[in-house]
Amino acid sequence: MKKKKIISLILSSLVVLSLAGCGAKSGDASSSTSKDKKVIKVGATPVPHAEILKQVKPILQKEGYDLQIVEFTDYVTPNTSLNEGQLDANFYQHIPYLEQFNKEKHTELSYTTKVHLEPMGVYSNKVKKIADIKDGAEIAIPNDPTNGSRALKVLQNAGLIKVKDGELISKADITENKKNIKIKELDAPQLPRVLGDVDAAVINANYALQANLNPTKDAIAIEPKDSPYANVLAVRTKDKDKDSIKALSKALNSPEIKKFIEEKYKGSIIPSF
């Protein structure tokens, strides 16, 4: 009898402990679920895109979304990461670049909304005015097709060269070059760093700002404000109608973000909405 009672007590204890353990796990799972947030992971270059997204973060928090910002310093990885599903969206590029990327890489990326324009500028450590660019000067431009085309058009608008009509052009499409300008093609992030080695460089605003160059103050020539190169929120085409993407797009086009862009960048970056 004693043995039976002892065995019975042990079994009862084990049942109680087992039930208590199950109850604790259930409670933890419930607690974890209640604390879980809907995550939106967005890739961006640091300036101004990540800065703008940091202002978007509290707006999305009110909608129950946790915006996670992943910073990149190049123009290729954010798109490959988005295409491979490592990101939900990215924010760093204009439409012509996105379209060219899709064509070259056979990706299916699209965009939901335009956010801002970053005027491309010509910068120099050697001259103060575009007219002072000397014969045979070396000017560096981005080496990717869309931004390279854009840079050549900035140089044409500044009166230094003439180029063929077309959305995508290269230095081979220069039709007039009275000053015998030498065009040097480099990765866009490198351009601010070579200003001491070339006579001038045509630099995207985000990389200029990172190098403490203000397009409206420091550029000796600048892209006109009616440029078609607005920066957009890019997503996988199949995800355009997701609630999280709609919420992110709406937040990026909110009055709070428009005010932030206008006050923070003082005309060097212009809202496109």
Residue 229: strand, helix, or coil: coil
**How many separate domains does the chain show?**
2
Residues 235 and 217 occupy one common structural domain: no
Does 128 fall in a domain?
yes
Residues 237 and 216 occupy one common structural domain: no
Q: What is the pLDDT of residue 121?
A: 97
Residues 107 and 128 occupy one common structural domain: no
Write down which residue in 222, 237, 258 finishes a domain.
Answer: 222
Average pLDDT, the chain: 88
Does 192 fall in a domain?
yes
Return d(Cα 118, Cα 223) in angstroms, integer.
Answer: 9
Does 208 fall in a domain?
yes
**Could you list the residue range(s) of the whole structural domain that residue 266 is in?**
38-118+229-271
3-state helix vs strand vs coil in the chain, percent to 5 = 45, 25, 30
* Other CB atoms within 10 A of residue 156 CB: 16
pTM score:
0.76
The enclosing domain of 164 has a CATH number of 3.40.190.10
pLDDT in tens, 44-77: 999 999 999 999 999 999 999 999 999 999 999 9
- Provide the percentage of residues in the chain whose pLDDT is more than 90: 82
Cα–chain-centroid distance for residue 49? 5
- Nearest CA to 66 among 41, 91, 30? 41
Residues 237 and 112 occupy one common structural domain: yes
Taking the CA atoms of residue 127, residue 130, residue 133 and residue 139 in that order, the dihedral angle to the nearest 10 degrees is: 90
Does 2 fall in a domain?
no
pLDDT in tens, 128-185: 999 999 999 999 999 999 999 999 999 999 999 999 999 899 999 999 999 999 999 9
Residues 187 and 96 occupy one common structural domain: no
Does 31 fall in a domain?
no
Residues 104 and 237 occupy one common structural domain: yes
Residues 132 and 253 occupy one common structural domain: no
Does 28 fall in a domain?
no
| DSSP 8-state symbol, 74 | S
Q: Is the pLDDT of residue 4 over 60?
A: no
Residues 52 and 92 occupy one common structural domain: yes
Residues 205 and 132 occupy one common structural domain: yes
Q: What is the pLDDT of residue 36?
A: 52
